[in-house]
Amino acid sequence: MDIFSAELGMDLRVINVYGPCQGREAFWNRFLSLSITSLNNLIIGGDLNFSLGYEESWGFQAPVDQLTESMEALLNQHYLIDVPMIKPLPTWRNRRVGEAALARRLDRFLIKVPLLQKLSRYRKWVGSGGIFDHSPIFLKILGSHNKPRPPFKFNHV
């Protein structure tokens, strides 16, 4: 979907992805080789179904995602940055308790490096609630932080 950002003065290509559970590496290799993903104004978001590192898993025996290294390399190869969160929180929980409880950060936003360089301010956070095992994620992007100059002031006394 193309969205015009008046603040940035440009179109943004936003793609919502629901990543597969099986064949993830093959899917991401095929998906990122599509011509649509080569655009510099690209934002990919959704349940991407991969985590990047040990710090993105919570639980007593939380295993590290086996695709972490290959996904990091693939994202670098395609100039995509995982937008950092203010406070890293899980976006998926298995809704179990005790030692069986597991949570991961599977939902995220990826932004092309050229677009990220045009943004002076952005913010990503995990919402609360939701009726499924995933929590909603939000991304707010703003253009340059050009603060208007204050008008000339003088004292009438």
* Architecture of the domain spanning 2-142: 4-Layer Sandwich (3.60)
Contact 13/39 with Cβ under 8 angstroms?
Answer: yes
Nearest of 48, 147, 155, 144 to residue 105 by alpha carbon = 48
pLDDT, tens digit (0-9, with 9 covering 90-100), for 78-104 = 999 998 887 889 999 988 888 889 999
Delimit the domains of the chain by residue range: 2-142
Q: What's the pTM value of the predicted model, to 2 decimals?
A: 0.84
The whole-number pLDDT of residue 83 equals: 87
Q: Report the share of the chain in percent with pLDDT over 70.
A: 90
